[in-house]
Amino acid sequence: MRILKTGEPGFEAYLAEIERRGGHEDLRLERKVRSILNDVSRRGDDALLHYTRALDGVKISVEQLQVKKWEIANAYQKVPAKFARTLGKAARRIRTFHERMGKRLIGSWEVKERGIRLVQRVKPLERVGIYVPGGKASYPSTVLMAGIPAKVAGVQEVFMVTPPQPEGGISPAVLVAASLIGIDQIYRVGGVQAIGALTFGTPSIPRVDKIVGPGNRYVATAKRLVFGLVDIDMVAGPSEIVIVSDEKTPSSWVAADLISQAEHDEMALAVLITPSERMAIQVAAEIKKQLFSLRRRKIAEASLKRRGAILIVRDVKQAITMANRIAPEHLELCLSHPRAFVKEIKHAGAVFLGCHTPEAIGDYLAGPNHILPTAGTARFSSPLGVEDFLKRVNLLEFDGPALGRFEKDVKQFAEWEGLEGHYQAVRVRKE
């Protein structure tokens, strides 16, 4: 893992490269994604079955697209009882956090003044689709994080799509998590074709109003391309972590946290920023040691070599400045007094305070959502939450005298903007 020191060649170039990480588009990939989306739009279920066989290597029938209730019931028998209890505990904690959020967001308000009534109604979306990565992997935590805020918001129907495993089944833990939070329907389909099905609808899968959840670059590109036909949460990129640390946190802890994100993906971003050269050297040595026994060693090594870095800076204040430039998905403040620097954090999806708050606890059951902005988009976007499943509707009501009070003002606007009909719509009522 490279070590770069502020002021030395390569330091600024690395930061500049990382800041641009979200701006590259693969046109060949986009053309392929468009082709699949268009095919799903035209052929519906037939296209879903074709791509599930061609891309996932799983042959299923139309009848198997929707996961049956007996499959969900059987899943409880395949999940160890201890893990089932943990899933329930996580669901309760995540629901509690999002219900607190919902109490502030769900509701309407009304303003009255002489002859005027202005109302804003807050209503949940009717139908939402959540994408849960699958195939060879299993992510029940994503089911909880995507589904719970939708349910808390009051979404009428929440559907889940997830790629089938090689033998055609769905991870039992994913099914149990979906059952615990009341997912309405589960469909055995993934990839671009699943995004197409949720966007356009097929004979088996209804179209939705919004699609949320992470996926690979094909899924991310598909979500970007269908935005406008449906809403999406965000275009998620590879996982990211930036750790700001002084010498007070054990180097083995910091190394473990960097590896925890590097093991996600060869393109994951793991960065340590520290004012201590000794800490930098110790962490680099710890990473080599811990990687030796890691099951996903090749993935983590590729990630750390390709995009990882340890940046040595003058002081913690400069470290915070560097972290704000990167605007990471996850930011750990492994510092003696982390709260002292919270006000200086401008851009991060989630901030983990102190050496006893590893990013991993946030991934699973701390309570706040783990679906977070990546690729620097934390500069302008937020974690997935209850508000993402709500929409606002404005109501306006004027009586005759109230409208008359604004006649001249409307005339001024209409004349300036050259929209005579706007003023006519007010004047005809006065006459």
Q: Which of 334, 315, 323 is nearest to 250 (CA)?
A: 334
CA–CA gap between residue 414 and residue 421 (Å, rounded): 8
Continuous segment of H or E residues that includes residue 311 = strand 309-312
Per the document, the length of the chain is 431
- In the block, which residue shows the tokens 């991993």? 360
Amino acid at 396: L
**Ramachandran class of 308: left when φ > 0, alpha when ψ lies in -120 to 50, beta otherwise:** beta
CA–CA gap between residue 70 and residue 413 (Å, rounded): 63
Token pair belonging to 338 = 């982390």
Please say whether the beta carbons of 36 and 190 come within 8 A: no
The answer to whether residue 407 is catalytic is no
CB neighbour list of residue 355: distance below 8 Å, 6 or more residues apart: 248, 249, 250, 253, 334
Q: Which of 302, 295, 342 is nearest to 323 (CA)?
A: 342
**Beta strand pairing status for 116-124 and 109-113?**
antiparallel
Angle at the Cα of 216 from the Cα atoms of 210 and 219, rounded to 5 degrees = 35
The answer to whether residue 50 is catalytic is no
Q: Which of 255, 267, 404, 431 is nearest to 334 (CA)?
A: 255
CA–CA gap between residue 368 and residue 152 (Å, rounded): 14
CA–CA gap between residue 124 and residue 391 (Å, rounded): 6
Which one is catalytic: 240, 329, 332, 359? 329
Please say whether the beta carbons of 353 and 46 come within 8 A: no
Which one is catalytic: 98, 240, 263, 330? 330
CA–CA gap between residue 229 and residue 210 (Å, rounded): 9
Strands of the sheet with 116-124, listed across from one edge: 109-113, 116-124, 390-398
Task: Write out the catalytic residue numbers.
Answer: 329-330
